[in-house]
Amino acid sequence: MRAQRAWRRANGRAMNRSVVREFQAPGIRVPRGEVLVPAELGDPVRGALSCPAAPLVAGSLRRKGYRVSFAAVPRFEDPAHHGDGAALYVVTCQQRDGGTAALAAAVAPDDRLAAAAARSAVEEWAGVLGTRRAISAGSPWCGGARQALEAVRRAISDSAGQGRVVHVHGQLAGPPETRAELASRGAVLGGSLQDAVRGDVIVFPAHGVTPAMRAEAIQRGLTIVDATCPLVAWAQAEAGRLADRGEHVVLLGQENYPAADGITSRAEGRATVIATVAGTSTLQVADARRVSYLLQPGIPIEDSAAAAAALRSRFPAVRGPHPDSFCYAPSDRAETVRTVAAGSDLMLVLGDAAAADARQLSALARDCGTRAQVIADPAEITPAMLAGISDIGIAESTSARAGLAGEITAALSGLGPLSVLRRQVSTQITDNSVIPVRPGDAQAGDATPAAAVPPPPTAAPATASPDQALPDQALPDQALPAPGLPVPAAS
C-alpha cells in the first residue's frame, strides 16, 4: 500500500504545465467587477471546446469576491487585432477521448483588478492539470430505501385520476430532491393516518410500522402499500414469535431509530432495546433462561458485537438470530468507504458538513490515513485540495443532493484525462432459507386493499436490482457473520 501511495503521489506531480494565454472575445461584454466563465469556447482551429471545469474556476473567483456569470464564447482571437470584446484568459488540456477541454475566464478589457483575478484563477487550475482516477463508493441508499421510494412512485401512478391521495407514513429515506419530486406529484410525506380519508392510499416506509398502526389503517378503510424492508419485516415477525413463546426479546440497536418501535411493539411489553455493553448490565428479565436477542436492521452488525458478547456472558442461555437475518448493507457501506479511502490520496465526502452521516464517513476515511474533505458543491473544490493528487475517492452521504456525484466527476474531467470507477463491497447470502426475500433481491410494496393485508408484511416480486459493482471491485462476497460478532445459537 505504501508503494502504491508513493506511485500515486509521483504520478500526481507529473502535471501538464500548460501556459495560460490571453485572447480577445469579440462581441462579448462583461460588466466591470464581474467575471464571465465560459461554458464553451469556439476555437478557430479545433472548433467548439467544452469547459467541464467551469464550476471549479467559478468557485475560485467567488472566493476572491467576484460576481460570476456563465455563457458560451463563440470565438476568440489574438488580442493584437484590437477589436471590440472582452479579455479572455485560456488554458487547454487533453481529454480521455483524445479531445481538448478548456478552462477560461473573461473580463472587461479595462478592468485590471478583475483581469488579474481571472488570470490568477485560471493559472491556479492550470497548475493541477493531469491524469486522475475518481473512485466512487456508490449510493448511500440501501435496497430497502430504494424499493420504498419506487413503491411510492408506483402508488402515485396507480392512483392517478382516481381521486385518491397517497400518504407516506413517517420518515421516507431518500435524497431531498427525490422526496420533493414525490411531493410535487401529490404525495403527502410524513403525515399521519388522521390526515387520510377512506379510500386514500397509505404507504408504510422501509422501517415498518407497529401492529396498532396497521390495524388503524385497516379500520379507516385505507389502501395499504407495504414497503417494509423484508429484513425489518422478518425482525418484526420474529420478535412476536419469540414473545409468544415466553422469551424476553433484546433488540441490539438504537431506540431512536425508526425501525426499533415496529420491532419491539410486536413483543407486547416483553422487549428491551440495548445499544451498549453497559445496557446489558442493567437489563432486568423475569427468567434468565428465556432471553433472546435480535440485531436491528439498518445498523452495522459490528456495532452490536460487544453488546452481544456481554449479553452472552451475563445470560449464557441467550438465543440469537440466524446470521441469514443480518442486515449487511450498513456494514458493506462502511467497508466500501474504507476500501475506497485506502486506495485514494483524497476522499471527497459529498453532503452537508454538519450532517452526522457526512462526519461519520469522513472519520472512516481518516482512520485509513486518507485526507477527507466534505463538500456540498463542485465550486467548493480548490486547487490546493488537488495538488499532488491522482486518485480521488468520492463518498456520498445521505445529505448529498441528487446528482452531486455526477457534477463532481464532470468538473474533475475538465482537468485532464479522468477514469471514473465504482468500488463496492457487497455481502450476499448464497443459500438463504431464513429470509426468502431480501432488499435488492425483491421489490416490497405492492398496493393491497387494507382489509386484505395480513401481518406480518410480505414482499412482492422484484422490479429493481441493487447497484452492480464494476470490475474494480473488492473481495468476493461472503456469507459469514461479521468479524467479532459471536455466532448465535439457533433459537
**Residues 339, 131, 22, CA angle at the centre, nearest 5°?**
140
CB-CB contact of 132 with 389 (8 Å): yes
State the pLDDT at residue 79: 76
CB 461 within 8 A of CB 442: yes
Residue 191 is predicted with a pLDDT of 77
DSSP-derived pairing of the beta strands 100-107 and 85-94: antiparallel
Host H or E run for residue 149: helix 143-159
Residue with cell 480577445: 24
Which domains, and CATH codes, for the chain? 18-126 (no CATH), 135-139+329-422 (3.40.1010.20), 143-229+439-452 (3.40.50.11270)
d(CA 232, CA 147): 13
Q: What is the DSSP letter of 91?
A: E
Tell me the three cell numbers of residue 440.
435488492
CB atoms within 10 A of CB 5: 16
Measured CA to CA, the distance from residue 404 to residue 420 in angstroms comes to 15
Please return the burial class of 278, using the count of CB atoms within 10 Å of its CB with bins 0-12, 13-18 and 19+.
exposed
Instruction: Establish how many alpha carbons lie within 13 A of residue 438's alpha carbon, considering only the half-sphere containing its beta carbon.
Output: 18
Model confidence, pTM: 0.81
Q: Which amino acid is at 407?
A: E
**What is the DSSP code (8-state) at residue 376?**
S
Question: How much is the pLDDT for 439?
Answer: 56
- Lookup: cell for 224: 395499504
What type of residue sits at position 303? D
* The pLDDT value given to residue 307: 95
The partner residues of 422 in beta bridges, in order of sequence, read 136
Q: Can you give the pLDDT at residue 434?
A: 62
Look at residue 34 and give its three-state secondary structure. strand
Question: What pLDDT score does 437 carry?
Answer: 54
Q: What is the mean pLDDT of each run of 10 residues along the chain (491 residues)?
A: 46 54 93 97 90 98 97 87 84 91 96 97 97 96 92 93 90 89 91 88 94 94 94 96 96 92 93 94 94 95 94 95 93 97 98 96 98 98 97 97 95 97 92 60 35 33 30 29 36 36
Distance between CA 322 and CA 106 in Å, rounded? 64
